[in-house]
Structure 1
Amino acid sequence: MTLKRLDNILIVVDDLEAVKTFFLDLGLELEGETVVEGPSVDRLIGLQNVRATLVFLRTPDGHGRIELDKYHTPDAVRSGPVDTPVNAFGIRRIMFAVDDLDAVVARLLARGAALVGEVVRFGESHKLAYVRGPEGIIVALAEQIG
């Protein structure tokens, strides 16, 4: 048996609408929204009395997906500061390929996101930027150039 693909990445959030809007502004597409609860959910994730709203987003090419979960019960637990630095243990960022990095960064900054560092050029092949959105979520943006 072999691994087939990466299906999605889960991000637990408090302000579901703000984070959903951030990813829609970035260019992801809404795939669906649902509420989950009940004994099978409780058994699957090892919690009791779970009730959560799930939002499913996909990249325009249909290959990448993000799942946003807002827990109504039990309350979600914050394990660190919202502005965790990029070198902290754990998953720190998700990278997306973009066509016009400067335009994407400008659009996200106009809607309240912040650059983590600077937009940089790596040799003749790529421009990169790290952007922090709602709830401290960091996305890396990469534009192939040259």
Structure 2
Amino acid sequence: MEQNQLIRMDNMGIVVASLDNAISFFTEIGLKLEGRATIEGEWAGKVTGLGNQHVEVAMMVTPDGHSRLEISQFLAPVTISDHREAPVNSLGYLRVMFTVSDIDELLPRLQKHGATLVGEVVQYEDVYKLCYIRGSEGLLIGVAQELHKK
């Protein structure tokens, strides 16, 4: 019998209060909206364990087409927990990290969408410049810029 082999990571899911705000924010980072749909009914609840549900979902994809972010807004049942203000060392979902070409150019654009810097922009050796931000909806987002020695 052949052992099951991992093929790929399909996507990471994030639940938000406003799908439109989240789409706008992640578009500003550079993701593209791949699709948007409403998922409802008992069949979907069998997967999530929530019973009859009504969810608006947007699938965002990175420019290289390899990574996806599934953003969900639950209309029913209502959300019952909120982890957006949790500090960086909390258990569970922590953050999603994006590599960008220019942090200094991107941060002011994200601040127009309500993003705030968690700590500072720091440089790790000659490898990365990086920071954490609280983005749309208070989500913890990592942003890294690869540095190249000249």
TM-score scaled by length of structure 2 = 0.92
- 1:27-55 C-alpha deviation (Å, 9 max, x unpaired): 10000000011221121111122011000
Deviation of 1:120 (Å): 0.3
Do residues 66 (structure 1) and 69 (structure 2) align?
yes
50-59 or 11-20, which deviates more:
11-20
- Superposed, 1:23-34 pairs within 5 Å as 23-34=26-37
Root-mean-square deviation over aligned CA pairs: 1.1
Matches within 5 A, 1:25-44: 25-44=28-47
Distance 1:42 1:6 in 2: 22
**One-letter amino acid matched to 1:9:** M
- Looking at structure 2, the residues matched to 111 and 72 of structure 1 have their Cα atoms a distance apart, in angstroms, of 23
- What stretches of structure 1 of length at least 5 have no aligned partner? none
Measure the CA separation in 2 of the matches of 1:101 and 1:60.
Answer: 17
2:138 aligned residue = 136
The structural deviation recorded for 1:18 is: 1.2
Cα deviation per residue 1:86-124 (whole Å; 9 max; x = unaligned)? 111112111111111111112111321000100000011
Partner of 1:100: 102
Give the 3-state SS of the residue equivalent to 1:112 in structure 2.
coil
Give the aligned residue type for 1:102.
D
The 2-side partners of 1:110 and 1:99 are apart by: 19
**1:1-146 to 2 correspondences below 5 Å:** 1-80=4-83, 82-145=84-147, 146=149
Structure 1 distance, partners of 2:51, 2:32, is 31
Gaps of 5+ in 2: none
Q: How many residues are matched?
A: 145
